[in-house]
Amino acid sequence: MANDFTKIFSKCILSIIFISLWAASACLIVVGAVVWHGAGSIDSIAKSTYALVPTVIILGSGIFLFLLGVIGCFACINENRCLLSTFFILLLLILLGEITAATMGIVYHGQVRSAIDTELNKELQSYHNDSLLKSEVDFIQSTYQCCGVNNFTDWLETPWSRQHNLTVPDSCCRDHRCNDTDPTVDSQVFHSGCLSKLNYDFSRFLGLIAAFSLVVAILQALGLLASCVLMCRERRSPTYQRFGEQEGGRHV
């Protein structure tokens, strides 16, 4: 009687967890896609902050988690020990991936500002002779309406500015049009730097990754516990057969 109650209770918990895992997998995919779209458009900055590494992990985990939910649901309904064991092992592997993504999000969160600072300064110094970096810097400045790293004066120490009479690029100005005058008196120039704005966005990206990864990891831990209880309680039960076998040892 106790075994029957435990089995029914574990199966009910697993069913609830399967639904939760499907919802969580959808959330992971959405969060991963949002972060990838936001961070991926600034390729070199994203690489320097390692934002894309945990993003790839949670995108992959979200996809596999959805497929794994289907396997687990089938195993639970059909009381198939082989599939239930497979579900347990794969869920454990995905759980480790989620913990890794959450850890990376937390660890790199504190390193974002210094990484962006270093990368932005390098890009400003190479702006005059690297077309790819030039396009990225222009995209950042026009999108975030900022100029330079800390402010527009950072440009005055770059080779590009010295070649252009100590002015700033058009991407530093409203409507992409500077007055080609002293940027300290040009009303078109964005006076705020890009560092603080990029730091806010990338810190938010990594925070989202860490938060969602931890929430899903808790759901996965509950799924592991319920499936483990179900397997242990019913290890000797004749209703749990090897995959492809019927009771009595005959193959289907």
Task: State percent of the chain over pLDDT 90.
Answer: 4
My answer on whether 102 and 209 are in the same domain is yes
Residue 251 falls inside a structural domain: no
Residues 32, 153, single domain; the answer is no
Compute the C-alpha angle 179/183/189, nearest 5°.
70
Q: Using the 8-state DSSP alphabet, how is residue 79 labeled?
A: T
Q: Based on the fold, state whether residues 187 and 133 are members of the same structural domain.
A: yes
Instruction: Tell me if 156 is assigned to some domain.
Output: yes
**Average per-residue pLDDT in the chain?**
75
CB count in 10 Å sphere of residue 34? 13
Give a yes or no: residue 249 inside a domain.
no
Whether 222 shows a pLDDT value over 60: the answer reads yes
Whether residue 105 sits in one domain with residue 53? yes
Segment 22-73, tens digit of pLDDT: 777 787 788 777 777 766 556 666 665 566 677 777 788 788 878 877 777 7
- What is the 8-class DSSP label of residue 169? -
The pLDDT value recorded for residue 158 is 92
Q: In this model, does residue 83 exceed pLDDT 60?
A: yes
Residue 137 lies in a domain: yes
Q: Give the pTM.
A: 0.66
Looking at per-residue pLDDT, the higher value among 234 and 140 belongs to 140
Is the confidence at residue 175, as pLDDT, over 80?
no
Q: Angle at CA 183, nearest 5°, toward 182 and 188?
A: 120
Cβ 51 vs Cβ 116: under 8 Å: no
What is the band of 79 on the pLDDT scale with cuts at 50, 70, 90?
A: low
Say how many domains are in the chain: 2
Does residue 232 carry a pLDDT above 80?
A: no
- 166 and 55: one domain? no
Residue type, 189: V
Same domain, yes or no: 55 and 159: no
Q: Which residue has the higher pLDDT, 60 or 234?
A: 60
Q: What confidence category does residue 210 fall into, taking pLDDT thresholds of 50, 70 and 90? A: confident
In a domain, 252, yes or no: no
Mean pLDDT of the 125-154 span: 88
The CATH number given to whatever domain includes residue 184 is: 1.10.1450.10
Q: Six-digit token pair at 239? A: 């209703």
pLDDT at position 38: 65
Q: Are 28 and 95 in the same domain?
A: yes
pLDDT tier, 240 (very low <50, low <70, confident <90, very high otherwise): very low
Domain region containing 103: 2-111+205-233
Give per-residue burial for 68-103: e unless 16+ CB within 10 Å, then b. Answer: bbebbbebbeebbbebbebbbebbbebbebbebbbe
Nearest CA among 174, 115, 180 for reference residue 149: 115
SS (HEC) of 2-63: HHHHHHHHHHHHHHHHHHHHHHHHHHHHHHHHHHHHHHHCCHHHHHHHCCHHHHHHHHHHHH
Instruction: Name, in order, each residue with C-beta under 8 angstroms of 70's C-beta and a sequence gap of 6 or more.
Output: none
- Is residue 243 included in any domain, yes or no? no
The predicted pLDDT at position 106 comes to: 76
Same domain, 55 and 163: no
Decide if pLDDT at 220 tops 70: yes
Question: How many residues appear in the chain?
Answer: 252
